[in-house]
Amino acid sequence: MTDENAAAELPAGMLTEGTLLDLMGIVITEASPERIVATMPVKGNVQPYGLLHGGASCVLAESLGSIGSALHAAAFDKVAVGVDINATHHRAVRDGVVTGVATPIYLGRTTTTYEIVITDERDKRVCTARITCQLIQAPPAS
């Protein structure tokens, strides 16, 4: 993670170092099954026209929803795997930092669904996403 002082404590076994989150500069600042918050720089996560890449927004959204789902799944000795994601991109961002906030729509024993709202530094909505995860038994360690 790029800023260890601002980073939230994640459960043991939930790594960010060397992952896509690390590569994209995503910093988790709050993490519980009820609310997950992270920031991501626009720089380095743009498409050829210099705008925040829609795929980068999806990575941020899926990461937040998956973390929340994993935290919820742990109560059932399960793990979370994404099965569906969709995103609506509302406005372009060229610079600065975006913030994603994930809140649950549904927290069940076999599935979870989160809404993720991504905003820019002016608190303008950039993207709205929804992810559904299936909760499954953890695969055996290899």
**Active site (catalytic) residues:** 62
Residue 121, Ramachandran bin (φ over 0: left; ψ between -120 and 50: alpha; else beta): alpha
Report the Cα 114 to chain-centroid distance in Å: 10
The token duo for 68 is 């929340």
Three-state DSSP class for 81? Answer: strand
Three-state DSSP class for 122? Answer: coil
